[in-house]
Amino acid sequence: MPDSRKDNFANALAWTSEDPLGLVVEKAEGPYIYLDDGTCLIDFISGIAVSSVGHRHPAVLKAIRKQLDRHLHVMVYGEFVQEAQAGFAADLSSALPDGLDSVYFTMTGTEANEGALKLAKKYTGRTKLVSFSNSYHGDTHGSLSVTGRAVYRDPFTPLLPDVHFLPFNDEAALTEIDDSAACVITEPIQGEGGIVVPSKEWHQALRKRCSEVGALLIFDEIQTGFGRTGSMFAFEKFGVVPDIITFAKAMAGGMPLGAFVSSKEILGCLKTNPALSHVTTFGGHPVSCAAARATLRVIQDGHLAERAKWIEERVKSELQHPKIDEIRGMGAMLGMKLRNAETTAKVVDICRKNGVLLGWTLHSDTLIRIAPPLNIPETVLDSALNVVRGALEQA
């Protein structure tokens, strides 16, 4: 019988590249993705840092089923009291420091960053936005405007005005942040820019400069949050607390959910002049919030942030090869840098043919992303690393 899925994919679904992988997924469970041809892949990128507790975690499924029996969407965001939504907001704010105690839910990461940028402009009354080279904050107009890669911005200009880019991890450049800046947005660890970890000193100098000039500091933790880097949130690694923080990806165990979080005072400015200064229909969908409450408990109760540190140690000790220039990153947010693009493509292809799914980051064709589920079994992790070693020998 002909398989209509591939025809529909080819003829009805908009593509994001000229040559998509086109793998036909039958099922996903734990650290595995099962394809229509019987292939079983170890998901070594977690759906790009989404499936941090694995696919279809039992606790997440239980929470989803329970919420399905209560209600789905009942009202646009912010008007009705919905237990899953309000409960997760309380859970999340209790996991964050003072001053990050008011949660605004969205559907996606880029929408969270859009909300954070609007919030900073409205609260400060300023227009200047500061970001960093090689950053990635999303593909909607506002988020794209502060993404520090011209190749992605140029086809869509003009974007937001008054956006300024500084070199990443350069303390001297921070003097360019002045009292006309509404905010500075940064990833505490650049993800799509190549898994680049800036210094603790740079983070602290950035925090100090923002405080001096009254610019709000936004941390985009869409990829780094929820245990991925070896702490619950990456800002904890650097001894600074942002004014606004954005989340998505791993937050809801595979369900769509994002958020921007700040103080009650700062977020309170969205309530007036005018009312409904920022609205969303599906933000904080109750099923996604129910899944997120369960996911947060799994991460906390399972000490998965600590386990991310173990994954880092294991990967770095097991993957030592002359074709590897370096393995960089923190926790289970790692990048394996190879010598050239040809070898990188071969390694990724050989691994996929041998049951391990890897991928590149957006800005580099020589860096292989390694981001397994934080609860990946030890035997599965070792099996995947054996495949990677074998691919390095063959490439």
| Domain containing residue 29: CATH number | 3.90.1150.10
- Integer Cα distance of 292 and 256 in angstroms: 10
- Integer Cα distance of 83 and 100 in angstroms: 21
119 neighbors 260 (Cβ within 8 angstroms):
yes
In this model, does residue 2 exceed pLDDT 80? no
Shared-domain flag, residues 31 and 157: no
DSSP 271: G
138 neighbors 187 (Cβ within 8 angstroms):
no
Query: Based on the structure, what is the number of domains in the chain?
Result: 2
The tens digit of pLDDT for each residue in 83-100 reads 999 999 999 999 999 999
pLDDT of residue 360: 76
Q: Where is the domain boundary, 301, 318, 342?
A: 301
Shared-domain flag, residues 42 and 82: no
Shared-domain flag, residues 48 and 67: no
pLDDT of residue 3: 80
- SS3 (DSSP) at 360: strand
- Integer Cα distance of 245 and 333 in angstroms: 19
Shared-domain flag, residues 196 and 256: yes
User: Which has the closest alpha carbon to 311: 228, 225, 222?
Assistant: 228
pLDDT of residue 194: 92
Residue 327: partners with Cβ closer than 8 Å, 6 or more residues away: 315, 316, 319, 334, 335, 336, 337, 370
The tens digit of pLDDT for each residue in 38-54 reads 999 999 999 999 999 99
Shared-domain flag, residues 114 and 158: yes
Residue 158: CATH number of its domain? 3.40.640.10
Region 128-148: mean pLDDT is 97
Which carries the bigger pLDDT value, residue 365 or residue 265? 265
102's tokens: 């008011």
159 neighbors 107 (Cβ within 8 angstroms):
no
The tens digit of pLDDT for each residue in 218-253 reads 999 999 999 999 999 999 999 999 999 999 999 999
pLDDT of residue 1: 45
Region 377-394: mean pLDDT is 98
127 neighbors 146 (Cβ within 8 angstroms):
no
Domain enclosing residue 341, as ranges? 4-56+303-394
Nearest-Å Rg of the Cα atoms of the chain is 21
Q: Using a pLDDT cut of 70, give the percent of the chain over it.
A: 99
226 neighbors 299 (Cβ within 8 angstroms):
yes
CA–CA–CA angle 210, 144, 326 (5° rounding):
75
pLDDT of residue 361: 67
Question: How much is the mean pLDDT over the chain?
Answer: 96
Shared-domain flag, residues 295 and 307: no
Tally of CB atoms within 10 A around 327: 19
Region 124-149: mean pLDDT is 97
- Integer Cα distance of 240 and 313 in angstroms: 25
Shared-domain flag, residues 69 and 52: no
Shared-domain flag, residues 27 and 172: no
Q: Where is the domain boundary, 250, 283, 301?
A: 301
Shared-domain flag, residues 81 and 201: yes
Per-residue b or e along 11-20, where b marks 16 or more CB atoms closer than 10 Å to that residue's CB: eeeeeeeeee
Q: Where is the domain boundary, 301, 320, 352?
A: 301
- This prediction has a pTM of 0.97
Shared-domain flag, residues 224 and 292: yes
Shared-domain flag, residues 36 and 136: no
Helices (H), the chain: 4-11, 46-49, 58-68, 83-94, 109-124, 141-145, 150-153, 200-213, 235-238, 264-267, 286-301, 304-318, 341-353, 378-394
The tens digit of pLDDT for each residue in 345-370 reads 999 999 999 999 998 766 789 999 99
- Integer angstrom CA distances of residue 7 from 27, 33, 34, 35, 36: 19, 21, 20, 16, 14
- Integer Cα distance of 209 and 24 in angstroms: 49
- SS3 (DSSP) at 326: strand
- Integer Cα distance of 100 and 264 in angstroms: 8
Region 266-288: mean pLDDT is 96
User: Which has the closest alpha carbon to 143: 188, 183, 163, 113?
Assistant: 113
Shared-domain flag, residues 380 and 264: no
- Integer Cα distance of 54 and 48 in angstroms: 12
pLDDT of residue 349: 96
